[in-house]
């Protein structure tokens, strides 16, 4: 009896310690997941506003890892780990929930300030104050994601040392495997956070993702406060702070996304009539009135980059579509890769086409431009404008629209033995690592096998003026993929400046020779004629003098992405100076 009675307190004590362990390790895992999602949120937003997505993501991850190391060192300054940890969680929740909104507000202010001063001093409408002060302010504002990443990283880095000290305090002795237990919970929690980011958060508006993540921080903080309130100083005040944070969570969940839209819209010159983040990109449509056109002018921006302006998109799409259609021997079957706005498809359907297949990844974008049967909210007033631009081409009975990754879909078509008379590739510029594969030798080799021997391929190939090496690299990559004749041509598009395309054939004559032999274009155009097109194939003297030094964009190398990024960074510095 005595032995049984003496063992009872030990069993009770072990059960209590197990309860403490479950709570502390669970809290640590939750916080690790939240920390990783905050890192991804800031990286994602930094890439959106800084333009160079890959560099921004790597820089943010590096910044936060270093900051977490600093935080781990700084944690030793706090003598009371319970109080420090409890207050730390409320601070992380506050910063995590509001940092992106604060950054967006300051960036919007930096861009509106020159116009505000112009209005204040009654300057003419076309005169905007510009100078070093405003440029510096804009530069600092765009650097803010890293500043907030540094702060969040420091606070997140304090969590592990503090919770390790709390765990030892609960046990009342030195724990040999304390660090391993805490780090194990941290790694597992981070892995779960990464899965949540990919499967759930990426599909949410960025402010909703930030708010939901912060909620887990708040709940973890409340659970900790409930269990260890007797060890926490100012516990009642901290409880009030958590309740206020819950109120802020509700407000940001309800209004944060609309506030972010309003702040983002400030960055566009014209009136924003549509602004949404799809699963793959941020889509903005603007509108302005013109003295020279009766209809309003609409511009499409993807991730902040202009994709077309209705004022001059006809020039771009004519130069993309007509050369390939003219150079092809037949026009029965046409494949369009990209071009989710339906404008290239509109021009293809002007020809005697029996079947036009379009592949685009973003079903929400296709729905916006009029494709019916997509599971996205209807926006009749916007879709009516945009489908008017493409003549409702996406719903033409001759058109087959496939919502899929073109990289994978092309392989499926090869397995099916499909062949096309013309193939038109109308993808965004290679400004993101994910797009690089669609400009690779591997992809072009598969495209070549889909093209009929007497067919023609045309590719939008960025600017030969602003991104010369990237432009030439595309042609070299197409040639490396096995096309017999590869040529490039250019034209000025007022909205873009000088722009370029690549055209290739598998056999027979080069495309330019085929076009030259056509006495009369079978489909009249408001823009192109024989002389106009032949002139487009001419380039300045020495334009291709460094051709040998420019590399082929092989799958997995990122050569083209690097050429493109370096070119536009150089241009930015050129115009800044």
Binding residues: 281, 317, 341, 360, 405-406, 433
Binding-site residues for S-methyl-5'-thioadenosine sit at 281, 360, 405-406, 433
Q: Are 387 and 394 in contact (CB under 8 A)?
A: yes
Tokens of 87: 């207050």
DSSP assigned state of 417: T
Residues 6+ apart with CB under 8 A from 328: 421, 422, 452, 454, 455, 456
Pairing assessment for the beta strands 333-338 and 399-403 based on DSSP bridges: unpaired
Which among 335, 375, 379, 331 has a CA at the least distance from the CA of 358? 335
Q: Are 283 and 379 in contact (CB under 8 A)?
A: no
DSSP assigned state of 71: H
Phi, psi at residue 462, to the nearest 5°? 60, -165
Q: What does the H/E/C string look like for 527-559? A: CCCHHHHHHHCCCCCCCCCCHHHCCCCCCCCCH
Could you count the other beta carbons within 10 Å of the beta carbon of residue 267? 17
Residues 6+ apart with CB under 8 A from 170: 17, 20, 24
Task: Name residue, tokens 């958590």.
Answer: 242
CA distances for 188 relative to 34, 63, 89, 161, angstroms:
12, 22, 19, 17
Q: How many CA atoms lie within 13 A of 410 on its CB side?
A: 25
Beta strands in 389-524 (DSSP E): 399-403, 420-426, 451-460, 485-493, 497-505
Q: How far apart are CA 445 and CA 480, in angstroms?
A: 8
Q: Are 459 and 486 in contact (CB under 8 A)?
A: no
Helix axes 132-171, 81-120, angle to 10 degrees: 170
Is residue 397 packed enough to be buried (19+ CB in 10 Å), middle (13-18) or exposed (0-12)? Answer: exposed
Q: How far apart are CA 178 and CA 187, in angstroms?
A: 14
Catalytic site residue from 299, 426, 429, 441: 426
Give the Cα-Cα-Cα angle 527, 529, 535 (nearest 5 degrees).
100
Which among 486, 481, 488, 485 has a CA at the least distance from the CA of 465? 488
Catalytic-residue membership of 426: yes
Binding-site residues for spermidine sit at 317, 341
Q: Are 385 and 368 in contact (CB under 8 A)?
A: no
Could you count the other beta carbons within 10 Å of the beta carbon of residue 423? 25
Rounded to whole angstroms, the maximal C-alpha distance in the chain is 112
Q: Which residues are catalytic?
A: 426
């Amino acid at each position: 009896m005595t032995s049984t009675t003496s063992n009872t307190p030990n069993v009770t004590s072990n059960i209590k310690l197990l309860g403490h362990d479950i709570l502390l390790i669970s809290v640590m895992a939750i916080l690790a997941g939240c920390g990783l999602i905050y890192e991804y949120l800031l990286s994602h937003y930094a890439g959106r506003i800084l333009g160079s997505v890959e560099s921004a993501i790597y820089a943010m991850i590096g910044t936060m890892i270093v900051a977490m190391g600093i935080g781990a060192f700084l944690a030793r300054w706090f003598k009371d780990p319970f109080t420090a940890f409890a207050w730390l969680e409320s601070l992380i929740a506050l910063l995590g929930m509001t940092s992106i909104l604060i950054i967006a507000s300051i960036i919007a202010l930096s861009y509106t300030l020159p116009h505000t001063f112009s209005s204040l001093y009654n300057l003419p409408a076309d005169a905007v104050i510009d100078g070093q002060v405003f440029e510096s302010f804009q530069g600092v504002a765009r650097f803010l994601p890293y500043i907030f990443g540094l702060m969040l990283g420091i606070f997140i880095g304090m969590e592990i040392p503090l919770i390790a000290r709390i765990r030892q305090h609960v046990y009342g002795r030195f724990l040999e495997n304390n660090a391993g237990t805490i780090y194990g919970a941290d790694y597992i929690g981070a892995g779960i956070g990464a899965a949540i980011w990919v499967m759930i958060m990426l599909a949410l508006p960025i402010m909703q993702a930030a708010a939901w993540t912060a909620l887990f921080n708040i709940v973890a903080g409340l659970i900790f406060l409930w269990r260890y309130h007797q060890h926490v100083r100012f516990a009642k005040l901290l409880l009030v702070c958590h309740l206020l944070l819950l109120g802020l969570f509700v407000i940001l969940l309800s209004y944060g996304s609309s506030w972010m839209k309003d702040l983002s819209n400030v960055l566009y010159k014209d009136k924003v009539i549509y602004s949404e983040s799809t699963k793959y990109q941020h889509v903005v449509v603007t509108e302005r009135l013109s003295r020279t056109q009766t209809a309003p002018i609409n511009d499409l921006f993807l991730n902040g980059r202009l994709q077309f302006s209705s004022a001059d998109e006809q020039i771009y799409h004519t130069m993309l579509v007509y050369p390939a259609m003219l150079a092809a021997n037949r026009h029965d079957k046409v494949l369009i890769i990209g071009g989710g706005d339906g404008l290239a498809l509109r021009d293809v359907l002007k020809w005697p086409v029996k079947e036009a297949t379009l592949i685009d990844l973003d079903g929400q974008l296709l729905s916006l431009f009029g494709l019916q049967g997509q599971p996205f909210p209807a926006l009749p007033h916007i879709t009516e404008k945009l489908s008017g631009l493409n003549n409702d081409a996406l719903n033409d009975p001759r058109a087959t629209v496939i919502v899929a990754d073109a990289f994978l879909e092309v392989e499926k078509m090869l397995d099916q033995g499909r062949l096309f008379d013309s193939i038109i590739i109308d993808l965004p510029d290679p400004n993101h690592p994910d797009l690089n594969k669609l400009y690779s030798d591997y992809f072009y080799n598969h495209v070549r096998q889909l093209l009929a021997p007497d067919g023609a391929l045309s590719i939008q190939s960025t600017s030969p003026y602003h991104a010369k090496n990237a432009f030439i690299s595309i042609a070299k990559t197409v040639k490396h993929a096995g096309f017999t004749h590869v040529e490039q041509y250019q034209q000025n598009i007022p909205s873009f400046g000088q722009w370029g395309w690549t055209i290739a054939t598998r056999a027979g004559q080069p495309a330019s020779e085929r076009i030259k032999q056509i006495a009369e274009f079978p489909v009249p155009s408001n823009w192109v004629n024989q002389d106009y097109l032949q002139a487009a194939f001419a380039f300045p003297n020495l334009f291709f003098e460094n051709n040998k030094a420019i590399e082929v964009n092989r799958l997995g190398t990122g050569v083209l992405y690097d050429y493109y990024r370096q070119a536009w960074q150089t241009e930015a510095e050129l115009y800044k100076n």
